[in-house]
Amino acid sequence: MKVLMLGPDRSVHGGISQMVNNYYDSGLDQKVELRYIGTMVEGSKFRKLLQAVWAYIRFCVHLGQSRIVHVNMASDASYYRKSVFVRTARLCGKKLIIHQHGGDFETFYGAMPEKKQAKVRRVLNMADVFIVLTPALADFFAGLVDEKKIVVLPNGVAVGPRPQKTYEKHRILFLGRLCRQKGIGELMTAVSHLRSEFPDMQVMLGGIWEDPELRDEVARLSGTVEYLGWIEGERKQRYLDECEIFVLPSYFEGMPVSVLEAMASCCAVVASAVGGIPQMLEDGVDGILIRPKDSTSLEEGLRRILSQPLLGREMGNRARAVVEKDFSLDRSIDKLLGIYRNLSDG
């Protein structure tokens, strides 16, 4: 099976790149003839434009050698960029997968006039298979795409050895883009209220700054909040294993890989009830769901875990079991290979 896959460059800091790197780490490129083309890089608009043009040239060169084209797509600029590749693949008669990752596609689509919405529906329906991350997203896209094409394929993560945690050291980890939309402002407000109650609390931020003005808010909490920079590989795993609590107070999400990684590492997760997160966590059972854009809700959720180590341990262990059962990378890869086989044989 010859697969040409598109998405952001594997060096980009984000969930889709992380998922693609997980595919490679799992050996997907050994199970199929996989060629990956990065259509977007971080940097200036000019650098991004050059990457998109170069990606399209490479895409046209390799398209004739591929049976299946697998397009990883989000919303906004990602949709417009990928729509060019989608149209070309369809024009060339390739088997086409659109893999929708965007957590805010509904807002993106809803803000369009009807004529543009009709164009979006035409592009999305060019897919032979339309992959979504959650049943809730399947329900939404059923209004845009032929329902028979839609397949739910949750993200998956590797499940390593079970870490040993005390759940008494009040260590909180955040991983992701450091911006308003990820709830960093609300997190800093909650932390400022909680640190007198839990003076040993440590909050570690792993990510890249997208809203520089937030740095001042973080700097005011020095001693409690530590900026780690972007972390990955063994260093990231070490923090996941050492921290008892993982927090993600985002305004919107798809199915964040970072939450799955935290669940696999037995973290007690406090996250916004947005996107696919309610399908990953059951509130009060294997995590705590909070209201987005609500620092009080976030503060209450964190306090509940910080003040009850036994509850944190129970939630962390249950979260690990959920990942082992429903969100392992092996399970995700097996289902993806099944989709490839069906298209290749069709």
Residues 204 and 273 in one domain: yes
**162 assigned to some structural domain:** no
Residues 148 and 8 in one domain: yes
For the stretch 250-293, pLDDT in tens is 999 989 999 999 999 999 999 999 989 999 999 999 999 999 99
**73 assigned to some structural domain:** yes
For the stretch 160-198, pLDDT in tens is 999 989 898 999 999 999 999 999 999 999 999 999 999
Residues 110 and 133 in one domain: yes
Confidence at residue 11, expressed as pLDDT on a 0 to 100 scale: 94
**121 assigned to some structural domain:** yes
Q: Cα 317 from chain centroid?
A: 22
Q: Which amino acid is at 44?
A: S
Give dist(CA 192, CA 340) in Å, integer. 50
For the chain, the domain total comes to: 2
Residues 152 and 7 in one domain: yes
Residues 175 and 81 in one domain: no
Alpha-helix residue ranges (DSSP H) falling in 125-267: 135-141, 184-194, 214-219, 233-242, 257-264
Percent of the chain surpassing pLDDT 90: 90
Residues 45 and 115 in one domain: yes
Residues 318 and 334 in one domain: no
Residues 146 and 251 in one domain: no
Residues 189 and 94 in one domain: no
The residues, ordered by sequence, that sit 6+ positions from 259 with a Cβ below 8 Å of its Cβ are: 246, 248, 269, 271, 277, 280, 281
Tell me if 94 sits within 8 A of 66, measured CB to CB. yes
DSSP string for residues in 167-181: S-S-EEEEES-BSGG
Give dist(CA 32, CA 334) in Å, integer. 12
The CATH number linked to 106 is: 3.40.50.2000
- Domain residues for the domain of 231 are 171-326
**226 assigned to some structural domain:** yes
- Of 182, 169, 226, residue with least CA distance to 203: 226
Residues 321 and 334 in one domain: no
Confidence at residue 273, expressed as pLDDT on a 0 to 100 scale: 96
Residues 72 and 200 in one domain: no
Residues 49 and 180 in one domain: no
Beta strand pairing call for 268-272 and 288-290: parallel
**163 assigned to some structural domain:** no
Confidence at residue 104, expressed as pLDDT on a 0 to 100 scale: 86
Confidence of residue 239 (pLDDT cuts 50, 70, 90): very high
**18 assigned to some structural domain:** yes
